[in-house]
């Protein structure tokens, strides 16, 4: 069992989404306003669907915090679903089942069919309600708490979109520092670090919407100020790059993850792939390049952690003739079900990626430095940073 863990619960159109975090130390300052700012960022982005016009996510902290500081006990977070009032009969906890808005036509690329077979449902709404990316609301809330913890020790996390569909800005951002990329992305409607390219991306999203299509893309998440030695090489499940990859792959619609230059490294000679080591009195050991993405041997190496994730197009299409599917009851061919959906959610997925990286890094910090009193832990982190400079 890790020192930090969380469980979340709730359905997309149920009364609320909840999460319980265990392992956050005492005396960490946290506020609902801080969490709400992160929740608002998840709801932004050009190409979002009608649900974002309904929901204005606000967190309620139900336990584990008193007078703005954590108690060291489990923290309970809740975000109510405003749309619940329109679904009270369909998503009722008790009473008789209804076939109103029943789903029997599984969507290609979604959890509908395998989930229905696995759990024995004749109404696939039982699957999609939980498999929905609405679930990431509480991940972002949990990630906000972990972000605050990391910020207290100088670790900053950010993200930006690299591509949507066939459009990419990867070549345009190579010489822009990571934190500047993030700052610029926050000013962009599609969260790209080159806001002057927004209109091209928006036109592509508008075209996809007119065609009833959806779009995927690639985003990057980074963490700066990460100390050397988080994670470990001694067991497979303690390697931090593996834990980061699993966390990102658990985000809905993510189909690929790279750390650093990832697959590009496989096409280079060894002399072009690895980051040479240097030392000076001010910085200690350092690298002039960061092809490894801040991780070597399952551990952080002191450089920024960089994670790149590829998101497939959202499975729900709104075409007049959608993708072919088969009705689970009649076994007759049918056009896939149409649920209210985004055209693209890559900008939002990047914010979820920030949350997942924050959760994994926060756990690694607490594993190394303890998880009781945050004031004591911060002192140990600073002592360790001084040790790494002297090593």
Decide: 365 and 151 in contact? Cβ < 8 Å.
no
Decide: 91 and 17 in contact? Cβ < 8 Å.
no
Give the pLDDT of the chain (391 residues) as one tens digit per residue.
Answer: 569 999 999 999 999 999 999 999 999 999 999 999 999 999 988 876 655 556 689 999 999 999 999 999 999 999 999 988 889 989 999 988 888 889 998 989 999 999 999 999 999 999 999 999 999 999 999 999 999 999 999 999 999 999 999 999 999 999 999 999 999 999 999 999 999 999 999 999 999 988 888 999 999 999 999 999 999 999 999 999 999 999 999 999 999 999 999 999 999 999 999 999 999 988 999 999 999 999 999 999 999 999 999 999 988 777 655 688 999 999 999 876 565 578 999 999 999 999 999 999 999 999 999 999 999 999 999 999 999 998 8
pLDDT at 317: 74
Parent domain of 147: 5-390
pLDDT at 339: 54
pLDDT at 334: 82
Strands 254-259 and 5-9: unpaired
CATH number, domain with residue 299: 3.60.150.10
Torsions phi, psi of 46, nearest 5?
Answer: -65, 135
Torsions phi, psi of 356, nearest 5?
Answer: -70, -40
Question: pTM of the predicted model, to two decimals?
Answer: 0.94
Q: Is the dihedral of CA 289, 291, 297, 302 positive or negative?
A: positive
| Burial (Cβ within 10 Å: 0-12, 13-18, ≥19) of residue 340 | exposed
Task: Specify which residues 210 forms β-bridges with.
Answer: none
pLDDT at 49: 61
Q: To 5 degrees, how large is the angle CA 73–CA 381–CA 284?
A: 160
Q: Look at residue 373 and give its three-state secondary structure.
A: strand
Q: How many domains does the chain have?
A: 1
Q: What secondary structure does DSSP assign to 291-356, as a single string?
A: TTTTEETTEE-SSPEEEEEEEPPPS----SS--EEE-TTT--EEEPP-----S--HHHHHHHHHHH
Q: Which two three-digit tokens encode residue 293?
A: 């993405």
pLDDT at 104: 92
> Which residues does 263 contact at the CB level (< 8 Å), separation at least 6?
none
> 29: part of which helix (H) or strand (E)?
strand 26-29
pLDDT at 279: 95
Rg (CA), the chain: 22
Q: Which two three-digit tokens encode residue 59?
A: 């967190």
Decide: 289 and 201 in contact? Cβ < 8 Å.
no
């Amino acid at each position: 069992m890790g020192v930090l863990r969380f469980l979340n619960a709730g359905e997309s159109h149920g009364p609320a989404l909840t999460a319980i975090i265990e392992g956050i130390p005492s005396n960490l300052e946290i506020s609902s306003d801080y969490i709400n700012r992160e929740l608002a960022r998840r709801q932004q982005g050009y190409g979002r669907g009608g649900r974002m016009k309904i929901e204005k996510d606000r967190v309620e902290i139900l336990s584990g915090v008193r007078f703005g500081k954590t108690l060291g006990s489990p923290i309970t977070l809740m975000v109510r679903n405003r749309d619940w009032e329109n679904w009270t009969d369909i998503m009722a906890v008790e009473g008789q089942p209804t076939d109103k808005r029943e789903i029997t036509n599984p969507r290609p690329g979604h959890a509908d069919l395998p989930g229905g077979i696995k759990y024995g449902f004749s109404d696939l709404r039982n699957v999609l309600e939980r498999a929905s990316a609405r679930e990431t609301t509480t991940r972002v809330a949990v990630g906000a708490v972990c972000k605050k913890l990391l910020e207290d020790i100088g670790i900053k996390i950010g993200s930006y979109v690299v591509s949507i569909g066939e459009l990419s800005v990867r070549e345009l951002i190579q010489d822009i520092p990571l934190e500047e990329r993030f700052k610029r992305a926050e000013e962009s409607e599609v969260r790209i670090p080159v806001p002057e390219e927004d209109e091209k991306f928006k036109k592509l999203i508008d075209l996809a919407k007119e065609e009833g299509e959806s779009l995927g893309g690639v985003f990057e998440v980074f963490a700066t100020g990460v100390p050397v030695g988080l994670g470990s090489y001694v067991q497979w499940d303690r390697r931090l790059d593996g834990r980061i990859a699993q966390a990102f792959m658990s985000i809905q619609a993510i189909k690929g993850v790279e750390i650093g230059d990832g697959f590009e490294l496989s096409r280079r000679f060894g002399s072009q792939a690895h980051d040479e080591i240097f030392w000076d009195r001010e910085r200690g050991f350092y690298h002039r390049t960061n092809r490894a993405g801040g991780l070597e041997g399952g551990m952080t190496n002191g450089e920024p952690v960089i994670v790149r994730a590829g998101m497939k197009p959202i499975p729900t299409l709104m075409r007049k003739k959608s993708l072919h599917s088969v009705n689970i009851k009649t076994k007759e061919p049918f056009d896939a079900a149409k649920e209210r959906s985004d055209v693209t959610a890559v900008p939002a997925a990047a914010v979820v990626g920030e949350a997942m990286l924050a959760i994994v890094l926060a756990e690694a910090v607490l594993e190394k430095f303890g998880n009781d009193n945050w004031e004591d832990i911060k002192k140990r982190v600073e002592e360790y940073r001084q040790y790494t400079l002297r090593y």
